[in-house]
Structure 1
Amino acid sequence: MYDPTRLAALVAVAEAGSITRAATRLGYTAPALSQQLAKLERETGATLLVRHHRGARLTAAGELLAVRARRVLGELDLARHELAQLAGLSGGRLRVGTFTTAGIHLLPPVLSAFRRAHPDVELVVADYEPPDGVTAVAAGEADLALTHSYEPAPTAPPPSGVAAERLLVEELVLVTAPGHALAGGSERLRLADLAGQPLISSAPTHPPRQGVEAALAAAGATPAVVCESPGYALVCALVSAGLGVAVVPEMVAAMATTPVGSRALADAGLRRTISVVHRTGERSPAADTLRALLRGAFGRAAGTGRGGGTG
């Protein structure tokens, strides 16, 4: 029997088109993910993917297995949901905190699946700009919350009694007005190439962004517009209007509501991690079930319908 973790790795590469990008989204290092894929190839006795200068593509055998793997992983998710039903999830209230990006583009299908399985549980959703969701969980105002952190930036450990579970790691990318010279290349752009570029500075006083802003300043990017709001919809709108360039999470670039060009950056350690936080030491079948749904949904969302917009 094939290891579900290795099947998930194959599906991630199929969707991301690159071992490096797939590893980032799954929270692995690229060598560790390559080892998982090599073990899967040994188990199957077939070559499942071919590496090339722009990433990796699946062979015919890899495509065949990926189709079956998606079905297997979906069935395992369904089994987790059905087992949760046996835990007696009937009635009660589940309070969920989220930031805007996840709340608009990633959380709704998860809540929809939860509601179908557990229609008697009342859902309450509140918007918390990170790190406020962590505070809300610690204070008992929310049962769990989606939050994010950025690299490079110092990340405070969660308060006592609160645990954070990483769901998704995504790269930050450059966004520009359509047709901008920097958006045209296929190779990754060095941060040094942003020297002198007018920059839409995304909430530089916001703690999760401070490390990113410092890295851009060190590379010589010149602030042109300081956008005090942490909302990315406004940042992308200013970029689309030609007022400057910006560095945003790749899901924001992929689903921007205004036309923008985008380009991957050379590895400068600029990433955003999305996590779910919850209280430890107390049993909540509803919260546990939603966390299981989030684990499955965020892994797939990383390579397909990536969200974006704000927050």
Structure 2
Amino acid sequence: MKLHHLRDLLAIAEKGSINSAAKHLGMAQPALSRSVRELEREIGVPLLERQPTGTMLTPMGILFARRATSAVNELRRARDEVQQLQGSVQGTVVACVSGVAHISLLSEALAPFYEAYPHVKLRIIEGVYPMVEARLKSGAVDFYIGAAPEGGPAPDLQLVKLFDNTRVVLCRVGHRLSKARSLAELVDAKWVTTSITDHAEAEFSSVFAKFGLPAPRLSIQAESALTWITAVASTDMLTMSPVQWLDSSLIKGAISQIKVQELIAAPAIVLIRRHAIPPTPAAEYLCDMMRRPASRYNLKK
């Protein structure tokens, strides 16, 4: 079994057809088909099956691909680590970073990171923990920095709290409710929210329930910061967002705070990565550069 066998199988699984995978890899379709057949002969079971919608992994193929993904990622990381320890500044770092971590941590980390590793390619995913848990476990994502997940991470992942956090209520500039001073005055408004679980309405309702209030109407569940910024800036919807957004140039002049009297807690901002396998020097350096500004928020407790 050779590395290109694993690469070829995973490309087909990702692209959904041999033809698309061949174009992605820059190789001839017959050569790709031959590579998969060689792998199937060695494994002893079919790994792919043709369906009307494309080429899919068989049940055994799914199991094999799961292990193959981890193996390919580890080989990529091993190559990067050896090269970086020898003085090379090549390689790739893949990180999932929440909106808050973007504006409060990543913005200060990029310049020093690229001074130390000018040729390392960064792939930054904006998101929250549930969407990348499987990729963290497989090694496809080096680390996550963002809101702490309910119940903590999977057993083979390590969590480090960077700082506790609070939320503020935001509205468009000139909103009729901008002078409100309590959540009770906002229960009839329409809201847009993000979520750190698959249960956005339950998360949202719990904030109001804590203060003995009924849950307002949740109109939009946003999967990115751009969605809630657009919705709040262009409509009468409100949102609850981490306090760090008040310092963001992305909302200045268009979105302002409704200064309610209630203190609204937010999930802590955490770092999550694999427990047993150390990151590459470049990934470790980016983590360090993002943890430095986090210390300022801890001093504000």
**TM bracket (short chain):** 0.5 to 0.7
> Is 1:291–2:287 an aligned residue pair?
yes
Match of 1:246 in 2: 239
Match of 1:237 in 2: 230
**5+ long unaligned stretches in structure 2:** 1-83
Whole-angstrom CA distance in 2 between matches of 1:140 and 1:280: 11
Whole-angstrom CA distance in 2 between matches of 1:137 and 1:279: 7
Match of 1:261 in 2: 256
Whole-angstrom CA distance in 1 between matches of 2:196 and 2:288: 34
Match of 2:268, SS state, is strand
Mapping of 1:110-129 within 5 angstroms? 110-119=109-118, 121-129=120-128
Mapping of 1:71-90 within 5 angstroms? 90=88
Match of 1:270, SS state, is strand
Whole-angstrom CA distance in 2 between matches of 1:235 and 1:190: 21
The letter of the residue matching 2:190 is: L
**5+ long unaligned stretches in structure 1:** 1-85, 305-311
Q: Is the 8 A contact 1:200 1:238 kept in 2?
A: no
How many correspondences in the alignment? Answer: 210
User: 1:204–1:137: structure 2 CA closer, same or farther, 3 Å change rule?
Assistant: closer
User: 1:198–1:140: structure 2 CA closer, same or farther, 3 Å change rule?
Assistant: same
The letter of the residue matching 1:294 is: M
Mapping of 1:138-287 within 5 angstroms? 138-149=137-148, 155-180=150-175, 182-184=177-179, 189-195=181-187, 197-203=188-194, 206-207=197-198, 209=200, 210-216=202-208, 219-223=213-217, 226-255=219-248, 256-257=250-251, 259-284=254-279, 285-287=281-283
Q: What is the Cα deviation at residue 264 of structure 1? A: 3.9
Q: What is the Cα deviation at residue 200 of structure 1? A: 1.1
TM-score of the superposition, structure 2-length normalised?
A: 0.57
User: 1:156–1:113: structure 2 CA closer, same or farther, 3 Å change rule?
Assistant: same
Whole-angstrom CA distance in 2 between matches of 1:254 and 1:114: 23
Q: Is the 8 A contact 1:167 1:273 kept in 2?
A: yes
The letter of the residue matching 2:277 is: E
Identity %: 18
- Deviation per residue, 1:218-277 (Å, 9 max, x gap): 523531x61132334333433334423222222234434361221344445521322221
User: 1:134–1:172: structure 2 CA closer, same or farther, 3 Å change rule?
Assistant: same
TM-score of the superposition, structure 1-length normalised?
A: 0.55
Q: What is the Cα deviation at residue 173 of structure 1? A: 0.9
Whole-angstrom CA distance in 2 between matches of 1:179 and 1:302: 33
Match of 2:92 in 1: 93
Q: Is the 8 A contact 1:176 1:245 kept in 2?
A: yes
Q: Is the 8 A contact 2:130 2:196 kept in 1?
A: no
Q: Is the 8 A contact 1:99 1:147 kept in 2?
A: yes
The letter of the residue matching 2:216 is: T
The letter of the residue matching 1:297 is: P
Q: What is the Cα deviation at residue 116 of structure 1? A: 0.6
